[in-house]
DNA sequence: CGAGATTTGTGCGTATGTATT
DNA sequence: AAATACATACGCACAAATCTC
């Protein structure tokens, strides 16, 4: 088949259902087995589709349970100290474990003037500029 | 085998070589075939290891060529306007295409008081607080 | 310029282990 | 205890892009 790969096509359809609200946060998606049957693909292909959504922070695999639409937490305000710099990047597996963040969630990394580094999961914090 | 999965182990070794500078940005890594032979694993397993690094923004597959250590661009300073909020999240495939960002690169999303939204790839921008 | 080798991209099948229900 | 569902890992085949000669 020319054109878009199968797993991207499947991912796009599920993503659409999530972003339009047809699939609500916390809701269980069709299992890998169901996706296989629905789209007539191998399990690996169905899985790759959901893997894309996971890397975007939209869904999660829950072992023994199924695939669920991720519940997005509230973001608390974060103040950037004078002279500090802030970047965003993806965590290593160790950092994901340490800060309890799921796949597809970036980190805010704040570096203070004295080289001190602070890390904040980007799904629970936001920057707000007083004005 | 109990303990760490094989692909995570392989990824950790390569990641170490990258972060310590033994593998320099722009340098070509061993091909999938070489990784298979080196670690005695299936191609899929070697590939998953590199997939982890790609999701962290450290490496890239280049079709027909090989696997390369990603060159990290310089980050330009970004000023957050008064009353604006900034979040970081992963892009959709469409956004990756539109803003020309690779796998594993988050987006800065700035929302102004009038609801206007601006997007900045997080590998090319950073926030700096005057002081 | 072309032909072949190399290397990644996609897709399928199978087996076994582990966690949850 | 049994069924369900995801996690890891092996194998194979062919397509598409790149590189080398």
The arithmetic mean of pLDDT across residues B37-54, rounded, is: 98
Banded model confidence at residue A131, pLDDT cuts 50, 70, 90: confident
B26 CA from C8 C1′ (Å): 17
* pLDDT of A1 above 60: no
What distance in Å separates residue B80's CA from the closest CA in chain A? 6
Burial status of residue B77 (CB atoms within 10 A of its CB: 0-12, 13-18, 19 or more): exposed
Nearest by CB to B122, from A8, A52, A89: name it.
A89
Buried residues in B24-49 as b, exposed as e (16+ CB within 10 A): eeeeebbebeebbeebebeeebbbbb
What is the C-alpha to C-alpha distance for residues B84 and A127, in angstroms, rounded to an integer? 8
A41 CA from D11 C1′ (Å): 18
Residue nearest to nucleotide D7 (CA to C1'): A63
End-to-end CA distance of chain A: 54
The arithmetic mean of pLDDT across residues B77-99, rounded, is: 95
Find the closest chain A residue to B19 by CA distance: A92
* Contact in structure between A88 and A108 (CB atoms under 8 Å): yes
């Amino acid at each position: 088949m020319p054109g878009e790969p199968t797993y991207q096509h499947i991912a796009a359809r599920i993503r659409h259902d999530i972003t339009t609200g047809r699939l609500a946060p916390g809701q269980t998606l069709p299992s890998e087995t169901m996706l296989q049957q629905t789209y007539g693909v191998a399990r690996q292909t169905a899985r790759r589709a959901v893997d894309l959504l996971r890397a975007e922070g939209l869904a999660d695999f829950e072992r023994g349970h199924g695939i669920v639409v991720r519940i997005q937490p509230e973001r608390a305000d974060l103040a950037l100290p004078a002279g500090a710099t802030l970047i965003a990047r993806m965590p290593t597996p160790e950092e994901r474990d340490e800060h309890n963040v799921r796949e597809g969630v970036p980190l805010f990394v704040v570096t203070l003037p004295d080289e001190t580094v602070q890390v904040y999961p980007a799904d629970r914090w936001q920057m707000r500029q007083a004005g």
